[in-house]
Amino acid sequence: MTFWKDKTFLVTGGAGFLGSHLIEQMKEKGVVPENIRVTRSKTTDLRIWEHCVDAVQDIDVVIHLAAKVGGIGYNRENPATLFYDNAMMGIQLMEAARLEGVEKFVQVGTVCAYPKYTPVPFKEEDLWNGYPEETNAPYGVAKKMLLVQAQAYRQQYGFNAIYLLPVNLYGPRDNFDPESSHVIPALIRKFIDAKQSKSDTVEVWGTGSASREFLYVDDAARGIVLATELYNKPDPVNLGSGMEIPIKDLVALIGELTGFDGEIVWDITKPDGQPRRCLDVSRAREEFGFEAEMGFREGLKRTIEWYLETTRGS
């Protein structure tokens, strides 16, 4: 517990989906609120060098969560923005942290950094064996550059930067905006909207043949907490649940849990994205004792309940 009580922390993106859950768990570890600095994009633009310098002043540990993200549609429409914003934020923040003498830098990357055709389950050593899936490659490559930076800074400067690779997250407080949401919140919103409008069809992108792995947000936050405290090596580490579900089965499950009994219409003119996603999670377990705890069905139920209670006032 002394690791947490004796330090000051910068959590970029700390007001967001993952960040809000992470900060709750940091407080449970004994971090007092005044020792957590949270950047907000409206007042701290990490694409601007001076903002990065100011953000890391008198900070012991940086946990960099802030990212410009979205689903397949958003990725297709904004590849340049996703590349530039994510690369600039991370590169500048890590350099500012090094110059400030920050003790540790925790870079949270993305499963989108993996090659399009990666053998399942994805092992960390496969990260450089090909180019990422086209629709999210600019985002994935920008985030993967920060792994190179972290390893180079460790080698040249002895800078303690670690790199985590979380799989797709879901849970309460997720982004349900249809323009930029990921697959689970997008589907939940579609099914609930259809049910409330008494529509008898829901349209879903792709063929349903792709598969995905999902990690409940509280599990992800706990994994980051464990790595921040216990992991100090250059090798990247997957954070996942080790489960895989075809999109077709995911759609059917969310339809069941939301009480939608109409027809699902597949728009096969839209992309499926990466064919499969499922991580080898053994390194996280061996290095800092992380294993996912939330069952997928229960996690989905909690996410749906939160959306109904909070967003719709039901």
The answer to whether the CB of 281 falls within 8 A of the CB of 241 is yes
Q: Rounded CA gap, 262 and 241, in Å?
A: 31
Count of CB atoms situated within 10 Å of the CB of 5: 11
List 74, 84, 114, 139, catalytic entry: 139
Q: Rounded CA gap, 177 and 193, in Å?
A: 13
Count of CB atoms situated within 10 Å of the CB of 1: 9
Between CA 102 and CA 171, with CA 223 as vertex, the angle to 5 degrees is 120
Q: Please confirm, yes or no, whether 139 is among the known catalytic residues.
A: yes
Backbone angles phi, psi at 122, to 5 degrees: -65, 125
Q: Which two tokens mark 308?
A: 């109904």
Q: Rounded CA gap, 166 and 63, in Å?
A: 14
Which helix (H) or strand (E) element contains residue 104?
strand 104-108
Q: Greatest CA separation found in the chain?
A: 61
**CA torsion, ordered 303, 309, 313, 314, to nearest 10 deg:** 100
Is omega for the bond preceding 275 within 30 degrees of 0, making it cis? no
The answer to whether the CB of 249 falls within 8 A of the CB of 94 is no
**Catalytic residue positions?**
139
